Amino acid sequence: MKAEPELLVGLDLGTSKVAVVVAERDERTGEAQIIGVGQAPSYGVRKGLIVNLEQAVNSVRSAVDDARHMVGLSFRHVTVAFSGTDVQSVLTRGMVSLGRTPRPVLEGDVERAIEVAQSELDIASNHSVLHAIPVDFCLDGHSGIDDPLGMTGSRLELELQSLIVPTSTIQNVINCVEKAGLIVDGLVLKPLAAAMGALSTEEAHSGAAVVDVGGGTTGIAVYSEGRPRRLSVIPVGGDHITNDLACVLKIPTSKAEALKREVALDEEEGSLEDLLDLDVRGQKVSFTVGQVAEIVGCRVEEIFETLVGKELSKSGLTMFPAGIVLAGGVAKTGGIDAFVSDVLDLPVRTAPPLDAGRMPPGRNGAEFAASAGVIRYVLQKELKPYRYLEPSSSLLQDRPDHVGPSSVKKTFTKFVADSREADGAIKRFTETLKKSFRELF
Ligand SMILES: Nc1ncnc2c1ncn2[C@@H]1O[C@H](COP(=O)(O)OP(=O)(O)OP(=O)(O)O)[C@@H](O)[C@H]1O
Ligand SMILES: [Mg+2]
């Protein structure tokens, strides 16, 4: 009898959608192939955080059912990608002596160096380290060592990237996924998953930032020399663009959502006066392409110039030779790459998942980069366990179902039909937005 295939499953708990990527492992090579992608609209998640447990559980169940139906196989074990609003990315150093006489570095030495680096962390109560990622090893003063195991020296130093999130965020995610009948094998912060899913090895080495703009959050992962230098989550995303359009143009959110997808940020001069007609509760309202694009562009500009720009400088890196790699649903906005490239003065490419060719059509766009990245994360972690430590996995250890060593776990009475009125509203809006961003940051 043919053995059941070993499945690796990544679950992306997003604000707009829950995605479930199923991969099958090849027994001979140990490599994994994506065989299906399930998805369902996400309810009960706002700005990346669970705000209604029951709705979130139902969304997870629907996405899982969709994935099981697609692959025709059942599974319970999942690795979950999630984000929160209060993520801290902290770098500390750890040093251990290997003795006066140089000797080969053992696993225990790396563990001790990681412990020393972790002891430097100041973790607020009710917070947990989600990931501890060594980003640089240094042996006897020589930095840039990829893997120190077996190398000879007398002093081992490392730089540790720790990602600290509120413990309650982690617990709510675990709780939600377990209530949906699944077993959490591991957790991954979404910007890390997005980087894994979208960034080429070459880009990661030369220096780049993956910016995953989803519905409620923007995840940023800054890489250089192949390692993550800073990972952060900003609670602003595509839903803000929709809300801006709804508020400024005084139209329902659902209409704003559709309108936003009809414009590009690189519209030809000649098309800016073209009219976009909407039927809003039986009344015809029209806006020009230029008006809509200006509102969208204003928010996108602020996200990148102010918020992303700030994160790039906090990373301490000044050069991004491979520029910005854009993922997430907002990356599908027409002309966004050239627009962001102008704003940040960096090269920009929009990124379908690296595994897009193996993913089902319609479920392999930029919004699935982080979802597919979960599978790559699991494989990388298996290959190089030291590289991706999950200290928070202790939160998973005592769960009833936990098994296995890998489980280290908006009434609209008046609508704006007059384009001059809309113009004034847009101007006020853009000024207010810019001001509020300046005050905030
Ligand atoms: N073609 C498009 N043009 C512009 N925006 C789009 C397009 N398609 C999707 N979006 C926007 O992308 C966002 C959803 O992106 P995505 O699916 O990556 O979010 P998510 O992963 O569920 O959320 P998050 O990561 O923030 O928790 C929504 O705001 C949606 O309006
Ligand atoms: Mg997302």
Q: Among 13, 16, 169, 254, which is best to mutate for testing ligand 1, by the most ligand atoms less than 8 A from CB?
A: 16
pLDDT of 2: 56
pLDDT of 406: 34
Which ligand 1 atom is nearest residue 13's CA? 27
Q: Print burial letters for 278-314: b (CB count within 10 Å at least 16), e (below 16).
A: bebeeeebebbbbbbbbbbbbbbbbbbebbbeebbee
Confirm or reject: Cβ of 84 under 6 Å from ligand 1: no
pLDDT of 147: 87
**Contact between residue 370 and residue 217 where contact means Cβ atoms under 8 Å apart:** no
- Ligand 2 midpoint to CA 214 (Å): 5
Q: pLDDT tens digits, residue range 149-159? A: 999 999 999 99
Q: Which amino acid is at 411?
A: T
Its sign, for the CA torsion 232, 325, 215, 50, is negative
Distance, in Å, from the CA atom of 218 to the CA atom of 232, rounded to the nearest integer, reads 8
Q: Show the low-confidence residues of the chain (pLDDT under 70).
A: 1-3, 391-441
- Ligand 1 midpoint to CA 227 (Å): 27
pLDDT of 65: 98
- Ligand 1 midpoint to CA 214 (Å): 4
pLDDT of 29: 83
Helices 289-302 and 238-249: crossing angle in degrees, nearest 10, is: 140
- Domains in the chain with CATH codes: 88-165 (3.30.1490.110), 200-350+411-441 (3.30.420.40)
- Ligand 2 midpoint to CA 182 (Å): 20
pLDDT of 266: 94
